[in-house]
Amino acid sequence: MRRPWSDVAIQECGEPLESIRGRFLCLEPHPYVQLGAPYGQQGDPFRVRSSVLSRLAQAQNHLTQHPDSQIGSIQLLVFDAWRPVSVQAFMVDHAVREECGRRGLEPTMPQWTRALEDVRRDVGRFWAPPSDNPRTPPPHSTGGAIDLTLADACGAPLSMGGEIDAIGPESLPDHHAASAKINPESLEALWHHRRCQLQAAMEHAGFVRHPNEWWHFSYGDQLWAWKAEASMAIYGRVDNN
């Protein structure tokens, strides 16, 4: 599935990857490492470009200055950051297998071929193709994309009305907006409010949100350039450094 930002030109700026660990709350153990994703010995997933790291600090400062009216202080909780193409391929295959299992699909079923095409299409709405083409790097392979959610002051994740990486409509950023409008006291309203809190903090720091994923934000990659109407992206693929 080709993305609308795939044709954006990239002029690599050369910023290094820097570790998020010790500076922001990270989900440990890392979910993809636990699955056996091939990061390699030096492949720490909790890394981003240096400008992304400084912008995360701005986003956290915004949250600190705007505490939640019900629970007080809230903070960013990083789920995933840099992801090499090998891991992207591994996770796309994993997502397809998981979705087939969730739908009760088996290769022996007569409609398997058509059903598998449907699964790959649906997975492709959320997982970028593991392209080796330097002109179309998966966002996470650039070090400019980050998946994150909100946590309370003690580090406990807040419910956001849908799990990160869920393949379904609940992952759309505004999925709960209509229900929230109908009943401002509902759980859906709370979830929508929290998604808006996350979006406000990240956009305050210059990030853009993925159109299909409430948890995915980018700075400097092709998605960012497309949404921000920048002339070009400044981050291409980073294999490791």
CB contact at 8 A, 48 and 81: yes
Q: Quick one: how far is CA 211 from the chain centroid?
A: 11
Write the DSSP symbol of residue 233. Answer: B
Cα separation, 175 vs 192, in Å, equals 8
Select from 93, 106, 77, 121 the least CA-distant residue to 35. Answer: 93
Distance CA 223, CA 136 (A): 11
194, 71 contact by CB (below 8 A): no
Asked if residues 174 and 192 have their Cβ atoms less than 8 Å apart, the reply is yes
Q: Going by C-beta distance under 8 Å and a sequence separation of 6 or more, which residues neighbour residue 76? A: 24, 25, 56, 59, 60, 63, 148, 149, 150, 151, 201
CA 169 – CA 80 distance, rounded (Å): 21
Task: Give the active site residue among 18, 99, 188, 213.
Answer: 213
Characterize 141-169 residue by residue with b for buried, 16 or more Cβ atoms within 10 angstroms of its Cβ, and e for exposed.
bbbbbbbbbbbeeeeeebebbbebbebee
Q: Is 213 a catalytic residue?
A: yes
List the catalytic residues.
Answer: 213
